[in-house]
Structure 1
């Protein structure tokens, strides 16, 4: 066989082997991209080696010479494998970087979206008391209506705005990465008792019964101010969404938990159970979002009552839980909802 025929035969065989290897690599890449990148240089070496070996045999080289040529080509396999490993490492690095960048963009987008929603919610809710204060001040200036009633209403609207600003500052502080809770040994039952006492006037005004039960006394290190505020927010939310004659119950118990690495540990669970009628399942994951407004409860006679979206109150609860490496969850019960604040001991 002449040289030209040998070259053509070598090219054809190499092309066939290379095409078959490429098809196999494409199929493998759909499941394992890194492994396909590692094997790609080997496919190139295999196609070239096969073509050269077939051409050498066709040109009537001796078996010993053909074997020598094949061994020389096989010697390039480690180099090809090393190149494939480098390519695989580079692909993994680029893929990881792209995934991290995509996740960061998604987080930034979600944070910005929540920030805009929060700003819109605060702007809307602050406008109402501000308008009321302005109207009452103008009435006082014009001498219209009883002055003492106008002054008391102005003070009430001022307290309302102060509470909103305090909630904003508290949420901002809890979300700051430089902030850590001031931990000190605290009897959780005392915190629950204080929170119940603070919510009692609101419960009496709404005809709601407050009850609490301590299954096991727990003393643990936590930020008493933040946890106490979180409990008050949960109780206020529960009382406001429980109708007259209903009951809001607070329970404190010790529970077993597992860390992210599977290590077992102890925690204290503070549950606040109300009789609001429940929250739509689709809304359960959103009740802790800042400024979120829910739909009506499931109770038929309360269809026009807003759901458990409580402005910033429940967002503060979640912030307190996360600051203590704990969790804040909500679940429906037969008569309402159960909010649970779980804090590791």
Structure 2
């Protein structure tokens, strides 16, 4: 008897389940409410079919049979009604979530639908909120970058036109024979060479900055001793410091180890030192220090520029920022790209760069993770 009941109930259940799965496949692109309704109908139908089959054929007869069938029918209707109510609520909150997504615009944030959402939909709502927040931050960064690009184009256009106009005038004077004095001709040639070198450096800076902004800066990190790095940088700018009568001083332990791209980090430090030399008056001093502090190496460049206005401090590392009102740069000023390049290189090393007013000038500071252990042998 038990085996017969199991066989009849199982067989009817399998048939109804197969029909239900086929119907769900046909309706797979429809509303979740319809899907839940089909699931509820299949469940109730399978239960009713088994009970009815057993009641009619084997177990109960007469008035008890009518009672059982009535109870089972009512239970099935109640289950179907509950399924429809749940499905309707899910459809409503799903449509509310869709409406909230459609209401998002560049000037409006994502606002989740009112009321308490089911756990899964609440997770989706939070994920959408985070995604739209990241998109908004990305748009803001893109707008800031676009503004920086426009400012850079304006600055570079000006810096290119001025030396090109001067070189054109000198070349025309030489070609037309207007200038014949050997000393003047030699001076023109020297000035043209200086302007060409300056333009070449500007193009190099533009190329480096474009690599940084495009995320194409590829580092080759290795163990580097900051003492050697500082010494190399100061040796490279010694001629510029001597021409401007600026003293250079270094305070760096020779065995402070970090893991970095020596060429790129050296370029960042050189940009800071050159910037300091250009804005330090004669007989002033530029001091480069490297100290270790709690697993962090702090590499600083202090000058005697007279300080930077507090309002300009947040913009010092922006592209093409020069701060003429604070620094009064001369003819040898750069294109305003050195500090922006330094920031990009430092951030590529997972470090940080900052500037503060200190003493007779300001202090630029690079913070980098300290590589554990002393350096073994040359770096």
TM-score range, shorter chain: 0.5 to 0.7
TM-score between both structures, scaled by the size of structure 1? 0.68
Find the residue that maps to 1:293 and give its secondary structure: coil
1:131 partnered with 2:169: no
Deviations 1:287-339 (A, max 9, x none): 11110121433xxxx7x558x99601111110110111001111110211000
| Alpha carbons 2:156, 2:335 under 8 Å: kept | no
Partners of 1:226 and 1:313 lie apart in 2 by 12
2:117 to 85, 98, 113: 85
Give the C-alpha shift of residue 98 in structure 1.
3.4
Alignment of 1:145-294 (within 5 A): 145=179, 146-215=184-253, 217-256=255-294, 266-294=295-323
Partners of 2:89 and 2:334 lie apart in 1 by 58
Partner of 2:325: 296
Deviations 1:87-133 (A, max 9, x none): 64454344334333322221221111111111111111111111111
Partner of 2:155: 121
| Alpha carbons 1:291, 1:309 under 8 Å: kept | no
Partners of 1:158 and 1:89 lie apart in 2 by 60
| Alpha carbons 1:238, 1:248 under 8 Å: kept | yes
2:350 to 320, 325, 329: 325
| Alpha carbons 1:321, 1:328 under 8 Å: kept | yes
1:100 to 134, 137, 148: 134
Find the residue that maps to 1:296 and give its secondary structure: helix
Partners of 2:352 and 2:222 lie apart in 1 by 19
Unaligned runs of 5+ in 1: 1-74, 257-265
Partners of 2:147 and 2:127 lie apart in 1 by 30
Superposed structure 1 runs of 4+ greater than 4 Å apart: 78-83, 87-91
Partners of 1:310 and 1:212 lie apart in 2 by 27
**Aligned CA distance change for structure 1 residues 93 and 288 (closer, same or farther; 3 Å):** same
TM-score between both structures, scaled by the size of structure 2? 0.62
1:315 partnered with 2:347: no
1:112 to 146, 163, 177: 146
User: How many residues get paired?
Assistant: 257
| Alpha carbons 1:186, 1:219 under 8 Å: kept | yes
Find the residue that maps to 2:296 and give its secondary structure: strand
Partners of 1:179 and 1:215 lie apart in 2 by 29
Structure whose alpha-carbon radius of gyration is higher: 2
| Alpha carbons 2:223, 2:257 under 8 Å: kept | yes
Deviations 1:252-283 (A, max 9, x none): 11122xxxxxxxxx232211000111111111
1:334 to 359, 362, 367: 359
| Alpha carbons 1:216, 1:254 under 8 Å: kept | no
Find the residue that maps to 1:118 and give its secondary structure: helix
Give the C-alpha shift of residue 227 in structure 1.
1.1
- Answer with 211-220 or 282-291: which moved more: 211-220
Find the residue that maps to 2:282 and give its secondary structure: coil
Partner of 1:5: none
| Alpha carbons 1:249, 1:273 under 8 Å: kept | yes
Give the C-alpha shift of residue 209 in structure 1.
1.1
Unaligned runs of 5+ in 2: 1-81, 94-115, 371-379
**Aligned CA distance change for structure 1 residues 100 and 243 (closer, same or farther; 3 Å):** same
Deviations 1:42-83 (A, max 9, x none): xxxxxxxxxxxxxxxxxxxxxxxxxxxxxxxxx99x959986
| Alpha carbons 1:292, 1:309 under 8 Å: kept | no
Find the residue that maps to 2:251 and give its secondary structure: strand
